[in-house]
Structure 1
Amino acid sequence: MPLARLEVPDLEHGLREKLIRADRLRPGDRAAHSTTIYGVSLSGDMTDTVLGHAGNGYPDASIELDELTRVSLPWAGLEAVIGDVVDHHGDPVGVSPRTMVQNLVERFGALGLAPVLGFEYEVWVFEADAGRDLPLPARLARAGAMSDLVAELARRMAAIGHPLSAVRSEVHAGFIEVSIAHGPALHAADGAARARRYLAELCAERDLIASFMAKPFGGREGAAGHVHASLERDGVNLFAGGELTAEAAGFVAGLVDSLPDLTLMFNPHVNSFKRIDPRMWVPTSASWGYDDRRAACRVVLRPDASARVEHRRGGADANPYVSASAVLAGGIDGLERDLALPQPRLPSRRTVPVSLGAAIAAFEDSSFVDRLLPRRFAEAFAATRRAELARYRAWLDENITPFELARHVERA
């Protein structure tokens, strides 16, 4: 029986997959998926959201297929297509981060602008250790395994129309940076989400583990998930040239202004904040600069399509649709409100959250979130983040940490 792969955006991974009979996933068909998709954590814990909760019995939702995303996966022998959750009338449900990207792109279109995005992820690749019961796999992958892995990933991404623009080794063995070619915002976000899933699956085929954890090792740099952005009008890059255009400046001003409110969308987990360290070129303030990797927003002025702003706050653990929405929402707000760009490297007077709890509070108290993001998304996203923090605190209450043992066993 031929199968096809349905890929549905969630609030954690980016995409969740479901294999369905191919004759039930044809163009024009509607699929179904449980509304629990927006409440499932990375480890499988469940949080009630506005769509799926104990009160309504976690019903199925309809999935509308986006035929522009239908691709053949020759290595798997099946087709894949991305679908978004809609209600039974076909209207968006207001929670999907992918739909949020679409809606923000339309707001740019009303101004005659088209946002262009590119994603880069730093990834740890471990050798799987069969039967292990350890927090981390025993060894990072060796160079020989990595080169063949990267070549195969490049072939697979090119086959689905999302070519890689670069892959490079970082300072540690088994630590790589993968850059997906830039493109129209929604297309780029789809490519980033697929690259993450397909790399994880490719690693699993080879007894390897791809980890997008922001900070698996203390004392080392963490894994970033940067978003590169530019604006086009009639196909012309408004960041290209020797200085920022008015539109580009307004876009960057919006990114800087919105970062305190939207930190949660770039750093969604407890571990995310352990990566934040200015010594590792991870920004701690809402700031921008020309080709300055210490700033949250690094503006790269070049005469061609590579001119852009790089948003450097996000970790590799950020959902690409969510981080894309944060960049687009900040940028469009800067344009619509005609925000003035502060001086380079001048930090915002507003504090950028330094913990998950502070980021949740800033997100929930934000008038920006109320104005720019769908209410149902904001409620569901905040609810899942609160649950993440509560589970971490419960774990701390129930477990004795290595710090406590080292400090007190022989000294107390």
Structure 2
Amino acid sequence: MAPGSEITADQLPALLKDDLGVKVAGVDVDGVLRGKLMAKSKFLSIAKDGFGFCSVIFGWDMHDQTYFRELKISNKENGYRDILAIPDLRSFRRIPWENNVPFFLVSFVDPDSLNSLSACPRSLLKRAVDRLEEEGMGAMAGAEYEFYQFRVPSSSSDNSSEQNSSATASFLKNNPVNSLPSLTEGMFGYSLTRPVHNQEYFYGIFDACDKFRCGIEGWHTESGPGVFEAALLFDEIKEMADRAALFKLTVKSIGSKFGITPCFMAKPREGLPGNSGHMHISLVDKQGKNLFYRGEEDKDAKYSDLRYLSDLGRHFLAGLLDGLPDVMPIVAPTVNSYKRLVENFWAPVTVSWGLEHRAASIRLITPPSGSPKATRMEVRVPGADTNAHMVLAAILALGWRGVQKKMEIPVPPLGKGEDVGGASDKGVRLAKSLKEANARFTAKDSVAREVFGDEFVDHYGGTREHEVRLWDEAVTDWEVKRYIEMV
């Protein structure tokens, strides 16, 4: 039976007849896959109705530190109780670098109401897709990720003989970040020779992604020391989000085997470009027809950039532009995210859009430069540090709000060569920090509350408040170097 096909619980014994164990994993709010290996007999017993999974994965941060302010889903008062994890049998695949052990993604359910858990990223996206499907529509998406790669350094203070990401973390306890050796040095985007330097690793990722059903469409070096970029194969939006999460897992797993630490931080190195995580999206009907394409040129369009964009597409774009400032903690989720979103670094900083404009927040791709069936929007604000399920859910929810309200595009397009954030840019400046972004996200009248509901916003906003507090209390190397002698 092919992975990705419809599978029932009754078919599992035959599908897994030669296996001893099964791996399962769900996605937390930071986009980290959390899971475990279980005996095949255990998996078969829970495949239909699910199993208890400790809710603490929604009660602690990416380093397993419980949140300063305990949140509703998981806390001391409820005993960090179990939530229900339901395997998604359609997500079946085998992990090629782990002896082809079978693997399934899970979604999380509230054990009392049996409704999807408000903070579960896979469920958040599904709820957004369900609203479209009620109207006979669907969504397609694509994802692009840039990421730095560092060789795991040897360190006399590290007692482990393993050269993997754990060794890198150990090294950084006593050494500055800039002492990490890059996979390759210098700037050489789209190089045909650099991948030969690490050929087994480069092709190992490409091949593993194909086998793990998170296939790569385009794979090349990007400008920056040790930077690669992957464009994942375009697919239905929920499947695309799963593939994005699994792509990161693949890269990190293969990297560890080669003594390489991939880095998806938005801005790992000062003075160099950041890591983007651009998302492409289009709406389709039940037959797969692109609903953003107008069909014929509208010579009377308010802006010439909109000549081939349908009325539905225009409302969708308007909704994105209107709501973007209110969901910034989703598309820029870490303190570091905002180091990438600065002027003059090929990163958007305002509510802006334009036809084939790569400096705008939203790049419109339509005829005549694009094909009708590929008409879409590229949202260029997210970095590689984002949670793909949440980002795509936000894009879909904001755009659909624009369609429902028949919203009008609030700002003119950026002209070619026009400076983003310059005097002629009419779009409002996006948040410059996570603290600023989270205040808008959690405000009583935020668009985020309108499209996602209070329960999700209160939980996710609380997790970002935790990140901000940790940053506020941190003492950085920069501060000590600058002030240790002079003040």
Structure 2 residue aligned with 1:405: 481
Structure 1 contact 257–348 (Cα < 8 Å) conserved: no
Structure ranking higher in strand proportion: 1
Tell me how far apart the structure 2 counterparts of residues 34 and 71 of structure 1 sit (CA, whole Å).
24
Q: Report the CA distance between 1:376 and its aligned residue.
A: 2.3
Structure 2 contact 59–73 (Cα < 8 Å) conserved: no
Letter in 2 for 1:272: S
Q: Report the CA distance between 1:363 and its aligned residue.
A: 0.1
Structure 2 residue 250 is the aligned partner of structure 1 residue 203: no
Structure 2 residue 104 is the aligned partner of structure 1 residue 81: yes
Of 113, 121, 127, 2:151 maps to 127
Structure scoring higher RCO (CA < 8 A, sep ≥ 6) equals: 1
Structure 1 residue aligned with 2:87: 65
Tell me how far apart the structure 2 counterparts of residues 192 and 146 of structure 1 sit (CA, whole Å).
23
Structure 1 residue aligned with 2:181: 139
Q: Report the CA distance between 1:249 and its aligned residue.
A: 1.2
Structure 2 contact 412–426 (Cα < 8 Å) conserved: no
Q: Report the CA distance between 1:354 and its aligned residue.
A: 1.0
* Runs of at least 5 residues in structure 2 that lack an aligned partner in the other structure: 1-18, 159-170, 185-193, 298-307, 415-423
Deviations 1:257-276 (A, max 9, x none): 11110111011111110111
Deviates most, 382-391 or 72-81: 72-81
Q: Report the CA distance between 1:168 and its aligned residue.
A: 1.5
Give the 3 Å change call, closer, same or farther, for CA 110–165 of structure 1 in structure 2: same
Structure 2 residue aligned with 1:358: 436
Structure 1 contact 129–138 (Cα < 8 Å) conserved: yes
Of 368, 376, 382, 1:308 maps to 376
RMSD: 2.0
Structure 1 contact 5–18 (Cα < 8 Å) conserved: yes
Structure 2 residue 352 is the aligned partner of structure 1 residue 287: yes
Q: Report the CA distance between 1:355 and its aligned residue.
A: 0.6
Structure 2 residue 64 is the aligned partner of structure 1 residue 12: no
Tell me how far apart the structure 2 counterparts of residues 335 and 263 of structure 1 sit (CA, whole Å).
21
Tell me how far apart the structure 2 counterparts of residues 182 and 299 of structure 1 sit (CA, whole Å).
17
Structure 1 contact 278–294 (Cα < 8 Å) conserved: no
Q: Report the CA distance between 1:24 and its aligned residue.
A: 1.6
Structure 2 residue aligned with 1:100: 124
Letter in 1 for 2:133: G
> Secondary structure of the equivalent of 2:119?
coil
Deviations 1:293-325 (A, max 9, x none): 111000011224433111000111111111111
Tell me how far apart the structure 1 counterparts of residues 176 and 42 of structure 2 sit (CA, whole Å).
40
Give the 3 Å change call, closer, same or farther, for CA 152–305 of structure 1 in structure 2: farther
Deviations 1:223-271 (A, max 9, x none): 1111111111231112346610111111111111111101110111111
Structure 1 residue aligned with 2:8: none
Structure 2 residue aligned with 1:338: 406
Give the 3 Å change call, closer, same or farther, for CA 146–326 of structure 1 in structure 2: farther
Deviations 1:110-157 (A, max 9, x none): 232211111111111110113323343621114445433232222222
Structure 2 residue aligned with 1:276: 341
Structure 2 contact 95–212 (Cα < 8 Å) conserved: yes
Percent identity, aligned pairs only, is 24
* Runs of at least 5 residues in structure 1 that lack an aligned partner in the other structure: none
Map 1:6-405 → 2, pairs under 5 A: 6-26=24-44, 27-47=47-67, 48-77=70-99, 78-88=101-111, 90-130=114-154, 131=158, 132=171, 133-136=174-177, 138-142=180-184, 143=194, 144=196, 146-233=198-285, 234-240=287-293, 243-301=308-366, 302-341=370-409, 342-345=411-414, 350-365=428-443, 366-396=445-475, 401-405=477-481
Deviations 1:79-108 (A, max 9, x none): 110111113364212221210101111111
Name which one, 1 or 2, has greater alpha-carbon Rg: 2
TM-score normalised over the length of structure 2: 0.80
TM-score normalised over the length of structure 1: 0.93
